[in-house]
Amino acid sequence: MDMIWKIRGREHDLSRRGWIMGVLNVTPDSFSDGGSFASPDAAIAHGLHMVSEGASVLDVGGESTRPGARPVPAADEMARVLPVIKGLRAAGGEFLISIDTSKAAVAEAALAEGADIVNDVTGLRGEPEMSAAVARSGAGVVIMHMQGTPMTMQASPHYGDVVEDVGDFFRQAIRRAVACGIDPMSIAIDPGFGFGKTPEHNRQLLHSLPAFTAPGRPLLIGLSRKSFLGWIAGSPRIEDRFWPGVALTSFCRERGAKIFRVHDVRPHREALRMTEAIMGDA
């Protein structure tokens, strides 16, 4: 089945070769790398390094969405992300830039500086202006499922059936987005692993990934360094989450996922390409 993601009027074919999305946090408090790339120069250099290792997209975020995180003012978020986006775009290259935000004002400012994609953890539910901003720009958009907010999402996640509930959310969210003028070909979806889910919920979603390819939109997986991997590995240490994450990139690609949001680009890209070669998609 053809898998096209339309971004800023350009159609990108993900049918045979998936993408790596490199995580570029410019926050002081993200769960695994907060403060590591707080200065624009450090963030730009790291972003370009990830591109050199095979990232097709850089996902720039200025507000932590770790469990328990509090929102930051839009002005602070823009001060963090806009110089980085401007610097990355000035560097040239074929890579795309995603803005990881749930604020319409931040998204619009980032798109004006050259971002191509809006990655909204609220699934376009956080601010009503967000859908209009995406529609006007023709940007790609990632609609993610989250139960609750980052501050509350892990307090007591519950579902009737997590696979059915998340699937219903996507069907409704895509309809709402299209009604707001967003091109359905511009939409990608993300089940939101760890965003209002227990480890068992995450496991069930992974087991049922093909159910989320039914809408015909690219499926994004964001599991890199998350606590669920520690649950699998039986260790609370972040460094012990690396290899389980690489293994899941291979597993999820075979199950239909197309975009992988990761911190460590090269090993995930190698796992992705090896899996595609075995599948006959390379």
For 43-75, the pLDDT digits (tens) are 999 999 999 999 999 999 999 877 777 788 999
**What is the number of other CB atoms lying within 10 angstroms of the CB of residue 132?**
15
Is the confidence at residue 120, as pLDDT, over 80? Answer: yes
Is 86 among the catalytic positions?
Answer: no
Integer Rg of the chain from CA = 17
Instruction: Band the pLDDT of 152: cuts 50, 70, 90.
Output: low
Convert the pLDDT of each residue in 201-247 to its tens digit.
999 999 999 999 988 999 999 999 988 898 887 888 888 899 999 99
State the DSSP code for 184: G
The region of weakest confidence among 113-117, 242-246, 268-272, 278-282 is 278-282
What pLDDT does 262 receive? 97
Rounded mean pLDDT of 104-113? 98
Domain boundaries, the chain: 19-279
Mention every residue, 6+ apart, whose C-beta is less than 8 A from residue 278: none
User: Is the CB of residue 169 less than 8 Å from the CB of residue 159?
Assistant: no
- Which residue, among 94, 8, 22, has the nearest Cα to 58 in the 3D structure? 22
Is 226 among the catalytic positions?
Answer: yes
Instruction: Band the pLDDT of 154: cuts 50, 70, 90.
Output: confident
What pLDDT does 100 receive? 97
Is the confidence at residue 87, as pLDDT, over 70? Answer: yes
Rounded mean pLDDT of 79-97? 96
Is the confidence at residue 36, as pLDDT, over 70? Answer: no
Measured CA to CA, the distance from residue 25 to residue 46 in angstroms comes to 10
Catalytic residue among 103, 197, 255, 261: 261
- Which residue, among 195, 191, 196, 194, has the nearest Cα to 208 in the 3D structure? 191
CATH architecture assignment, domain 19-279: Alpha-Beta Barrel (3.20)
Across the chain, mean pLDDT equals 92
**Residue owning tokens 């967000």:** 130
150 to 30, 105, 178, 187: CA distances (angstroms) = 12, 20, 26, 23
Is the confidence at residue 156, as pLDDT, over 80? Answer: no
What pLDDT does 238 receive? 85
What pLDDT does 34 receive? 47
Catalytic residue among 103, 197, 217, 226: 226
